[in-house]
Amino acid sequence: MLNSRPMELRRYETSDQDQVAALWKECGLATAANNPYRDIQRKTANSPELFFVGEEQGQIVASCMAGYDWHRGWIYYLAAAPSLQGKGLNARIMRHAEKALLGSGCPKIGLMVGKINARASVFCSKMGCQSDPGGAEQAFI
């Protein structure tokens, strides 16, 4: 971590936009199909209360977007700064989003994980996720 103070978890604020977009790019989450600025705009127009960031010393070091369609909750853009990965940041922000979803009455949460993303698969296993029995690239909590 950047200092001895723990990461502060909070809702996304408009002033976080550039730092969040940079984090996603650094983590390989921003692609031609996933324009970070467009996705942030969509999220903040829809359900901004389910968009979280982790901050240390004024720097965004983690993010998590959650969505809920009244059938299942979903986790998107779960990211931690590469230099801080392995320190529990993703787990903390994921649990924060999970708590918010469950508090909204969400009965089941899915996390899309590509088969080629071995690190994400290991993370899901550590978090207690279970693979979709149909073989889809999803983990359900």
Sheet holding 59-68, edge to edge: 8-11, 51-56, 59-68, 73-80, 109-112, 138-140, 130-131
Q: Is 38 exposed, middle or buried (0-12, 13-18, 19+ CB in 10 A)?
A: exposed
Domain boundaries, the chain: 8-140
CATH topology of domain 8-140: Aminopeptidase (3.40.630)
Which residue reads 């705009």 in tokens? Answer: 41
Q: Is the pLDDT of residue 7 over 80?
A: yes
pLDDT digit string, tens, across residues 109-130: 887 665 555 566 566 666 666 6
CA angle 73, 75, 80 (to 5 degrees): 155
- The pLDDT confidence band at residue 1, using thresholds 50, 70 and 90, is very low
What pLDDT was estimated at residue 71? 87
Instruction: Work out the widest C-alpha separation in the chain, in whole angstroms.
Output: 43
pTM: 0.81
CB 130 within 8 A of CB 121: no
Taking only the tens place, the pLDDT of each residue in 61-104 is 999 999 999 888 988 898 999 999 888 898 899 899 999 999 99
Using a pLDDT cut of 70, give the percent of the chain over it: 75
